[in-house]
Amino acid sequence: MIVQTSAEFARRFSEPGIEISYSGYVTTDEKWRQPPLPTHISRLYYVEEGAGMLVSPAEEMALEPGYVYLAPCGTPCGYYGTDAVTKLFFHIRVPGADGRDAFSGCGRFVRIPFSVERIRRMTACYFNGELTAQLELKREIFDTVCRFLRDPLCTLPAGPTLSEPVIRAMEYIQKNRRANLTVREVADACFVSPALLARLFREQMYTGVARYIEELLMLEARRRLSEGDSSIGEISEALGYCDQFYFSRRFSALFGISPREYRKNRSYT
C-alpha cells in the first residue's frame, strides 16, 4: 500500500479560512448612498431584485438581479440605489500567501452570473440555523470566492500598482486609527518624507493621507454604531475625537446623516 500526502493541502487547511466580519439580507431605500471610501475588506453582493450602482474613482458598475458582485479590498467603494435593491451580502477577507487579502490587487469591481433562484436558496440557508443549511451556505460562499479567484479580471492589473510606502502606510494607519494620527507620523513610520507619501497616496489611492485616515475612522464609527451599544460619546472618544459634536459633524458631512439617525436606521452594508 502506498499513501501519498500533500504538504500544501495540510498547510492550507491549517491556516485561517475565509473570514466573514459582517453579513445580512437587506432591501435598501433612498438612504443607501455612500461616496467612494477606502476599505480593508472585500464585499460580496448577491443581488436578488432591484437596481443600483457601485462606484469608485475609476468606474461605475450597475447592480442587477442574477449576479454576484465583488467589491475588492483596497478599491475605494461607493454605492447608491436607482431603485430598491434586495441583496444578500457578506464582508469577507480571504488571506493570501503574503497575509494580505487575496483580492487586494484586483483594483476593479467584478461580477459573475448567479441565478436569482440560487440566491434565494442561499438566503433561506442564511436564516436556517440547522447545520446542514449553514454548511450549504458556506459551500456556496467558498464556490463564489473560487470563481472570482479564477476570473482573469481579478488578476489583470487595473490602474497603478500600490508602492511599498503606500502599502506600509495603509497597514500602519489600519493598526493605529485615531483622530490625532498625523501624516508626518505615518510618513516617519514608512521611512519617507510627508511630501513623498502625500504624492504617492494621491496618485495611487485617489485621495489624501489625512482624508484616508478620516474615512477609515468614519467607517469604523459606522460599524460600531451598527453592531454595538456604545454611546455616540463613547465611540467618539474611542476613535480619538476630543469633541463629540465635531465627530458628529464630520460623520454627517461624509454620510449625509447624523450618527444618531444612522444608528436608528442601522443600514450598514
Question: Which pLDDT tens digit goes with each residue over 106-157?
Answer: 888 999 999 999 999 999 999 998 999 999 999 999 999 999 999 888 865 5
Q: 122 and 38 in one domain?
A: yes
Indicate if 123 and 22 belong to the same structural domain: yes
CA pair distance 36, 223, nearest whole angstrom? 16
Tally of domains in the chain: 2
The answer to whether residues 185 and 59 belong to one domain is no
CA 63 to chain centre: 17
Identify the domain boundary among 94, 122, 154. 154
Long-range contacts of 224-230 (CB under 8 A, 24+ apart): 225/259, 225/262, 225/263, 225/266, 225/268, 226/262, 226/263, 226/266, 226/267, 226/268, 227/22, 227/268
Residues 136, 179, single domain; the answer is: no
Q: Which of 108, 130, 154 is the last residue of a domain?
A: 154
Indicate yes or no: pTM above 0.75.
no
CB atoms within 10 A of CB 45: 22
Q: Is 40 helix (H, G, I), strand (E, B) or coil?
A: coil
Q: Say whether both 103 and 232 belong to one domain.
A: no
Q: Give me the CATH number covering residue 232.
A: 1.10.10.60
122, 154, 186 — which closes off a domain? 154
Domain boundaries, position 128: 13-154
Is the CB of residue 137 less than 8 Å from the CB of residue 126? yes
Strand partners, 101: 95
Judgement on whether residues 125 and 31 belong to the same structural domain of the protein: yes
Residue 35 domain-assigned (yes or no): yes
Is residue 22 located within the same domain as residue 121? yes
Query: What would the pLDDT profile of 14-70 be if each residue is shown by its tens digit?
Result: 555 788 888 889 898 877 888 888 777 899 999 999 999 999 888 899 999 999 999
Residue 8 counted as domain residue: no
The answer to whether residues 60 and 191 belong to one domain is no
